[in-house]
Amino acid sequence: MDKQIEQLILRLMAKGMGLQTIPNFIRDVARVVIDSRYVTYPIVNRRMMERGWPEDGLDEHSLALIVELLEESEVLHVQRVVLQ
């Protein structure tokens, strides 16, 4: 889990996010994910923009890392479905 957290922080910092901002950003992503019935990158990104975050603040890989962290913390159980 520590490696995932480090990878997530480095990804967000590379996008220009400051260390003080990252916990709030992750918290908001977690709230959006937990409050959503379906979680897709476009849905989460739109809801993050509605909360005032920039459009390029979240990418698909960062979202996947946050979801994995929530699952490992047993805050969230995700059922993955592959759409074709």
Classified as helix, coil or strand, 29 is helix
What range does the domain containing 22 cover? 2-72
Predicted confidence (pLDDT) per residue in 55-69, tens digit: 888 999 999 999 888
- What is the pLDDT at residue 37? 80
- What is the pLDDT at residue 12? 94
Residue 79 pLDDT > 70:
no
Predicted confidence (pLDDT) per residue in 1-50, tens digit: 688 899 999 999 999 999 999 999 999 999 999 888 888 899 999 999 99
79 in a domain, yes or no? no
Q: Domain tally for the chain?
A: 1
Find tokens 């918290």 and name the residue: 27
84 in a domain, yes or no? no
Classified as helix, coil or strand, 39 is coil
Residue 81 pLDDT > 70:
no
10-19 residues labelled b (16+ CB within 10 A) or e (exposed) = ebbeeeebee
